[in-house]
């Protein structure tokens, strides 16, 4: 649903016995339950007029429903922040109604029978709502506009409805606005109707397949629509005036993503079109066939390498299957939307960028979860204890759940895993779903009972924390690996049962062993004719875990040069603490200069940054010319931390010649640390430069402030 745009750094996996930074105990939160229904909403027809200047709206919402009870006398709808002025049935007969702060109760003309179809229309109006509809004043960042912030349960702030995700209905939006504006919404565009005399335009949208209410969307602004397609299906990008040239650098891979997901999920894109619509939002919010996207991701072709949008674009697109086609039955099941959506953006990342980039992507997801586990709380991924729905949309439902799916894939194998996903989609299509439905799909497709897996990873909190020790028995020619799970077992954290790959590398031979960990403490033996050059735990980088695994310097140096991307990054981080030992600085310098993958070079630069700047200035200056902007930016930051005024000319040259906004911004910050007040005019002139998200201006202002100190 919503993603922040901040980059997530890979964290080192350090041993933690407890999680002292936690501030929330989810076990103490109130117990929630799925909402019951007395009727089944079948269709919403919303005719609404929007006055952007007055921040007001007036409408008529026609609700068609089917009774779930025999003798239904009234329908209770969610309704807030607007006044209902009339209710009439399908024959035009006025119906009695009562409205409270949060609900509208409509009394039927006569009791309805079980299964009987009933229709009534509510007239209503409102002004300056605090939720649901966002009327936004014109600013340097956006035009005068209105858009619906419907998630998680805010639709009822702009029309009366049953506002809970376990009820799915078709919908129509007929929206009238001032001429010159365009209206985006769900489904098929039925027509656009101008009223020259009134100076208005009306857009009629029809969503003809059922979806949950929070997925109903509306936005009106002077949009420019950049048109694309997937096969014969419209794929359009609704952007602010002036952003037209950024549409394709930002969204241009959407059609390729649709093809990829349709194939890998074995379920063709299910809707009639796909629009992505700029709004002043912090991230993205999927709606059926129409995703609201923060305008901040709009990026020029020149800046796209530094600020690629494929993560958020693929994530929100994946929700068209995971969240829109099948939808969480209750808010405690948020992982049904978000874990699957987050794993999907990893899948596309791997498809588009390759295995090494994907490995770093997955490690970043692990880092995000561990940060939340350490600083906020641990909780079961699936839980009915929360204060409000938004509590469940966190780093447990997003990245942790995504890696749980990755671990399940490693157990099932690729073919069976993706057959299971397809079965889940087909069996619950256009319906609400929960964890039991997914487990049923696993059992149906595989014949396997994996309740133990779901019990520990979905229904219990926490993760394994491993204390590892290895030793080589020269006489027995074996490596003994001692594995202890040292996580605090309080608050329901289990001893985990996990399969893991252990790689043993000796001279001329590398052998991977698949073993199962089941106990608090275990010892495994692996054959090794000679002393291992490297023993690697979780060599496939699959587990949600933390660990300590003491290694000799020689092993870390071998790992830095010969392991996979995650292993090399890990070795760089651990070598940072032992740089006084022979060969370490030379090895890190080689890695910073010559490793084939940028993330490893950056890790080596960050390790070298822990030394006195004068000791490594030459290698850091070399890294400032690295082909990858993230490495260059890290190197400039490391140099700047040395506060060496003699490097001012070097930083100015970087700022003037480097094409990366990230690097140029770091060069300005480095200038601010030189202590040279004569740089202020240069910094002030730099602040006037237009850049992506005003990064250069902000960096120049930070530098001036730093010099003022």
Q: Kindly report, residue by residue over 231-262, the tens digit of the pLDDT.
A: 999 999 999 999 999 999 999 999 999 999 99
pLDDT at 6 over 80: no
Q: CA torsion sign, 161 to 166 to 170 to 172?
A: positive
What is the model's pLDDT at position 13?
37
Last residue of a domain, one of 202, 220, 238: 220
Give the other-Cβ count within 10 Å of 586's Cβ: 11
- Residue 579 falls within a domain, yes or no? no
Phi, psi of 201 (to 5 degrees): -135, 140
Partners of 126 in the beta sheet? 57
pLDDT at 15 over 50: no
Last residue of a domain, one of 513, 528, 550: 550
Q: CATH number of the domain at 86, please.
A: 2.60.40.1730
DSSP H helical ranges for 162-285: 247-251, 254-264
How many whole angstroms separate alpha carbon 285 and alpha carbon 215? Answer: 9
Which of the 8 DSSP states describes residue 216? -
Residues 329 and 288 in one domain: no
What is the model's pLDDT at position 94?
98
- Residue 669 falls within a domain, yes or no? no
Residues 207 and 348 in one domain: no
- 3-state SS class at 291: strand
Q: Which of left, alpha, beta for 102 (phi over 0: left; psi -120 to 50: alpha)?
A: alpha
- Of 184, 138, 165, 130, which is closest to residue 41 (Cα–Cα)? 165
What is the model's pLDDT at position 271?
98
pLDDT at 453 over 50: yes
pLDDT at 31 over 80: yes
- Residue 629 falls within a domain, yes or no? no
Number of domain units in the chain: 4
Residues 205 and 259 in one domain: no
Residues 484 and 425 in one domain: no
Q: What is the extent of the structural domain holding 519?
A: 464-550
Residues 390 and 472 in one domain: no
Q: Kindly report, residue by residue over 462-483, the tens digit of the pLDDT.
A: 999 999 999 999 999 999 999 9
How many whole angstroms separate alpha carbon 703 and alpha carbon 655? Answer: 13
- Residue 492 falls within a domain, yes or no? yes
Report if pTM > 0.85.
yes
539-553: average pLDDT: 97
pLDDT at 19 over 70: no
Q: CATH number of the domain at 255, please.
A: 3.30.2010.30
How many whole angstroms separate alpha carbon 548 and alpha carbon 557? Answer: 17
538-546: average pLDDT: 98
% of the chain surpassing 90 pLDDT: 95
Residues 6+ apart with CB under 8 A from 134: 146, 147, 148, 149, 279, 280
- Of 212, 319, 317, 208, which is closest to residue 259 (Cα–Cα)? 317
* Burial grade of 227 (CB within 10 A; 0-12, 13-18, 19 or more): exposed
Residues 255 and 201 in one domain: no
What is the model's pLDDT at position 17?
38
pLDDT at 1 over 60: yes
Last residue of a domain, one of 182, 203, 220: 220
- Of 640, 646, 587, which is closest to residue 609 (Cα–Cα)? 640
């Amino acid at each position: 649903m919503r993603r922040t745009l901040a980059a997530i750094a890979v964290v080192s996996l350090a041993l933690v016995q407890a999680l002292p930074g936690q501030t929330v105990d989810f076990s103490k939160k109130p117990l929630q339950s799925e909402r019951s229904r007395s009727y089944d909403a079948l269709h919403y027809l919303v005719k609404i007029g929007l006055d952007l200047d007055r921040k007001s709206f007036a409408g008529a919402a026609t609700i068609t429903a089917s009774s779930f009870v025999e003798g239904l006398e009234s329908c209770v709808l969610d309704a807030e922040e607007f006044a209902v002025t009339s209710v009439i049935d399908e024959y035009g007969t006025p119906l009695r109604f009562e409205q409270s702060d949060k609900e509208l109760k409509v009394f039927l003309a006569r009791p309805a029978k079980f299964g009987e179809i009933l229709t009534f229309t509510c007239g209503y109006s409102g002004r300056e709502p605090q939720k649901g509809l966002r009327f936004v004043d014109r600013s340097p960042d956006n035009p005068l506009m209105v858009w619906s912030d419907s998630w998680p349960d805010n639709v009822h702030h702009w029309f009366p409805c049953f506002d809970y995700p376990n009820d799915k209905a078709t919908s129509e939006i007929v929206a009238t606005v001032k001429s010159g504006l365009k209206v985006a919404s769900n489904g098929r565009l039925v027509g656009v109707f101008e009223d020259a005399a009134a100076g208005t335009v009306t857009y009629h949208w029809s969503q003809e397949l059922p979806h949950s209410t929070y997925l109903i969307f509306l936005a009106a602004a002077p949009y420019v629509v950049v048109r694309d397609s997937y096969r014969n299906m419209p794929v359009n990008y609704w952007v602010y005036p002036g952003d037209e040239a950024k549409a394709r650098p930002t969204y241009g891979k959407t059609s390729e993503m649709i093809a990829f997901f349709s194939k890998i999920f074995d379920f063709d894109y299910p809707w009639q079109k796909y629009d992505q619509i700029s709004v002043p939002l912090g991230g993205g919010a999927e709606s059926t066939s129409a995703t609201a996207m923060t305008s901040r991701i709009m990026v020029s072709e020149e800046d796209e390498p530094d600020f690629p949008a494929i993560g958020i674009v693929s994530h929100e697109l994946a929700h068209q299957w995971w969240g829109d086609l099948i939808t969480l039955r209750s808010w405690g099941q948020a992982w049904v939307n978000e874990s699957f959506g987050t794993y999907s953006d990893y899948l596309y990342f791997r498809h588009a960028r390759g295995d090494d980039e994907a490995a770093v992507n997955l490690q970043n997801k692990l880092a995000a979860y561990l940060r939340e586990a350490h600083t906020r709380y641990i909780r079961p991924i699936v839980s009915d204890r929360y204060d409000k729905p938004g509590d469940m949309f966190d780093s447990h439902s997003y990245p942790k759940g995504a890696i749980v799916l990755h671990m399940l894939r490693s157990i099932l194998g690729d073919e069976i895993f993706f057959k299971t996903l397809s079965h889940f989609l087909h069996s619950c299509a256009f319906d609400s779903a929960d964890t039991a439905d997914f487990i049923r799909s696993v059992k149906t497709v595989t014949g396997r009972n994996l309740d133990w897996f779901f019990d520990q990873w979905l229904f219990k909190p926490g993760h394994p924390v491993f204390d590892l020790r290895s030793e080589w028995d020269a006489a027995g020619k074996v490596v003994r690996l001692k594995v202890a799970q040292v996580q605090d077992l309080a608050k329901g954290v289990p001893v985990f049962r996990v399969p893991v790959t252990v790689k043993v590398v000796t001279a001329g031979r590398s052998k991977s062993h698949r073993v199962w960990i089941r106990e608090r403490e275990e010892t495994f033996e692996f054959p090794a004719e000679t002393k291992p050059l490297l023993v690697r735990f979780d060599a496939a980088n699959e587990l949600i875990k933390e660990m300590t695994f003491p290694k000799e310097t020689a092993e870390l140096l071998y790992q830095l040069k010969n392991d996979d991307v995650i292993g090399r990054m890990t070795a760089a981080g651990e070598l940072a603490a032992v740089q006084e030992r022979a060969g370490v600085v030379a090895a890190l310098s080689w890695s910073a200069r010559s490793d084939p993958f940028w993330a490893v070079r950056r890790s080596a630069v960050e390790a070298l940054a822990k030394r006195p700047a004068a000791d490594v200035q030459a290698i850091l200056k070399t890294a400032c010319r690295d082909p990858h902007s993230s490495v260059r930016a890290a190197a400039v930051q490391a140099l700047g931390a040395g506060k060496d005024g003699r490097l001012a000319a070097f930083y100015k040259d970087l700022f003037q010649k480097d094409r990366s906004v990230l690097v140029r911004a770091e060069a300005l910050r480095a200038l601010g640390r030189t202590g040279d007040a004569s740089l202020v005019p240069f910094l002030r002139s730099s602040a006037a430069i237009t850049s992506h998200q005003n990064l250069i201006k902000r960096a120049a202002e930070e530098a001036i402030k730093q010099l003022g100190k």
